[in-house]
Amino acid sequence: MSKSAQLITTVLSSKKIVAVYCRVSTTEQAEEGYSIEEQERLLIKYCEDNGYAVFKVYSDRGISGKSIKARPAMKEMLRDADDKKFDMVITWKINRIARNTLELLQIVDLLEKNNIAFKSYSENFETETPMGKFSLQMMGAVGELERGTIAQNVKMGMLARAREGRWNGNVVIGYDLKPIENSTNKKRKDTELVINPKEAEVVRTIFKMYSEGNGYKAIAGYLNKYGHTTKRGNSFAVSSVKDILNNPVYIGKIRYNVLQNWSEKRRKHKNPNPILVDGIHEPIIEQELWDKVQNLLESSKGKPSRIYDGEFPLTGILRCPECGAGMVIMRSTRTKKDGTKRRLEYYCCGNWKNRGTAVCHSNAIRADKANEYVFGKLSELLSNDKLV
């Protein structure tokens, strides 16, 4: 090795190697005005000014700090920490690392087990000293208290708006969101629902078709056939039709607080008594039609669910050869010449089953034949000595 190469190696090995972590959610950037690029610039400059060598910049863009699982850059950084690829982690503020004290301390503890220090640029402390560790715990607890208080105040404000008949949700088909002039809300612009005539006709068609005996799939297929789309520009599915038929916003009502726990993303733990009040917006559906549809929906609840016996391990694994969607199970009953009936299961295109022939075709394949073929091939591969 040349003398110059030895000198460079010596200099680099003497420098503290630092991992830079940055995160900002879309909402935070819009409300607070700090971008992830600005975080990166400040932290890289800080490292240069203090003689640190930046190992890598880990950035989670447009991602909430509620959970590590949803942050790919954070997970990558923690894997590299386990491999001891750097000596310190630096971030702009401690709330970039975690939104609650327990998770923050767990991350810092993992770093410390690998002899990696943690430093906050804005709060000006690091965990290499006992006082720094104490400051971290105190500031994490205070930050969590502040966030909890803000969240509670926001929820109370939204509950008050709902009780006044004002819309709190995002865009919904059939309506547009119109900003309210002279709004007093500083953090969030108050909006109201105004009817979108073209979309309102689609909503009326859905209610009318269901009241005439058409099912979810038939309605979705009809809408897709004639080129109608959801508010987000997607084709209609069984779930989107069902959601529209169950939404009282279309008769001029406001329903709120269906999920009491805001962190629940899945539709579990529903509030049995959500807020339901008269809204200040104009209804799209008449009460008589709404009542008829709700009675039909209620009567259909008594029908047995289509639960398929047996196992169908290739569900979602097999892909539709036409559109690439996951294949799902369907059942068909055939009557033999002697009058006996035989039930057959098929893997069919999930898009076709949920959205109709305007989106794709069934492309069905017998489930027993598909299972036999796939697992036969797997057995051949596993018994091949060259591959094992």
Domain ranges of the chain: 3-146, 175-300, 307-388
The set of residues, in sequence order, having a beta carbon less than 8 Å from that of 252 and lying 6+ positions away, is 278, 279, 281, 282, 283
For residue 251, what pLDDT is reported? Answer: 93
For residue 136, what pLDDT is reported? Answer: 59
For residue 9, what pLDDT is reported? Answer: 43
In this structure, whether the domain defined by 3-146 belongs to CATH 3.40.50.1390 is answered with yes
For residue 104, what pLDDT is reported? Answer: 76
For residue 383, what pLDDT is reported? Answer: 78
For residue 7, what pLDDT is reported? Answer: 40
For residue 8, what pLDDT is reported? Answer: 40
3-146 and 175-300, same CATH topology: no
Nearest to 175 by CA among 158, 209, 198: 198
How far is C-alpha 55 from the geometric centre of its chain's CA atoms? 31
For residue 373, what pLDDT is reported? Answer: 87
The set of residues, in sequence order, having a beta carbon less than 8 Å from that of 18 and lying 6+ positions away, is 47, 52, 53, 54, 55, 86, 87, 88, 89, 90
The overall pTM is greater than 0.85: no
The set of residues, in sequence order, having a beta carbon less than 8 Å from that of 343 and lying 6+ positions away, is 331, 332, 333, 334
Question: Residues 2, 4, 13, 25: which is the catalytic one?
Answer: 25
For residue 26, what pLDDT is reported? Answer: 59
211 included as an active-site residue: no
Nearest to 218 by CA among 249, 245, 197, 251: 245
> Virtual CA dihedral for 52, 56, 61, 64, nearest 10 degrees?
-70
How far is C-alpha 175 from the geometric centre of its chain's CA atoms? 23
For residue 110, what pLDDT is reported? Answer: 85
CATH superfamily of 175-300: Putative Large Serine Recombinase; Chain B, Domain 2 (3.90.1750.20)
Q: Which segments of the chain does DSSP mark as H helices, in order?
A: 3-14, 26-32, 36-49, 72-82, 101-113, 130-163, 197-211, 216-225, 238-245, 287-300, 350-355, 367-382
166 near 190, Cβ under 8 Å?
yes
N-term to C-term CA, the chain = 43
| Average pLDDT along the chain, 388 residues, taken 10 residues at a time | 45 76 69 73 93 93 69 92 93 79 77 88 68 60 59 65 71 88 62 91 95 92 92 91 93 74 52 77 94 90 52 85 89 79 87 87 89 84 69
